[in-house]
Amino acid sequence: MSIALTLTVNGAPVTRPVAPSTLLSEFIREHLRLTGTHIGCDTTQCGACTVLLDGRAVKSCTVLALQAQGAQLTTIEGLAQADGTLHPMQEAFRQCHGLQCGFCTPGMVMSAVDLATHHACGTEQEIRDGLEGNLCRCTGYHNIVKAVQQGAAAMKA
């Protein structure tokens, strides 16, 4: 059985038939081919699959696709401007070397955008607490914290 899922993805209307058991992460990667959203664990631990649903960060492996009915979905592909200008948080990760292999980076960036938009993130501790649901195997987090500080300041400016 399939049900029509209608939502807005990175600013564009989308309607697709999906099975009730389809995860949002699976819908994003396999139905929409937006493979910037990564799957690290599929068990709600790593945060690599984080996207924005109605402006709030969610782990898309934890949400059924049909729960996004009518929602505004933003994936990492939707952050930059149409001319390729990076979102301030993406630019800060680039400038601060906030990534190495890059596997965690889309989820980190999406969580950081939510953090900078909805929560206090002025201090290192606030950023570390805010990103506790996102795991990185590479960086030791130091440059990620610097990137989020810089990105959050740029977003406010």
Least Å distance, CB 118 to ligand FES, is 19
Nearer to ligand FES, 47 or 88 (CB): 47
Part of the chain binding ligand FES (CB under 6 A), chosen from 33-41, 74-82, 87-95, 117-125: 33-41
Please say whether the beta carbons of 8 and 19 come within 8 A: no
d(CA 119, CA 117): 6
Nearer to ligand FES, 47 or 78 (CB): 47
In the chain, how long is the greatest CA-to-CA distance? Answer: 49
Part of the chain binding ligand FES (CB under 6 A), chosen from 28-36, 76-84, 113-121, 135-143: 135-143
| Helix boundaries (H) for the chain | 24-26, 88-95, 105-118, 124-130, 142-156
Please say whether the beta carbons of 72 and 8 come within 8 A: yes
Question: Does 142 interact with ligand FES (rule: CB under 6 A)?
Answer: no
Interface residues with ligand FES (CB under 6 A) are 39-42, 44-49, 59, 61, 99-105, 136-139
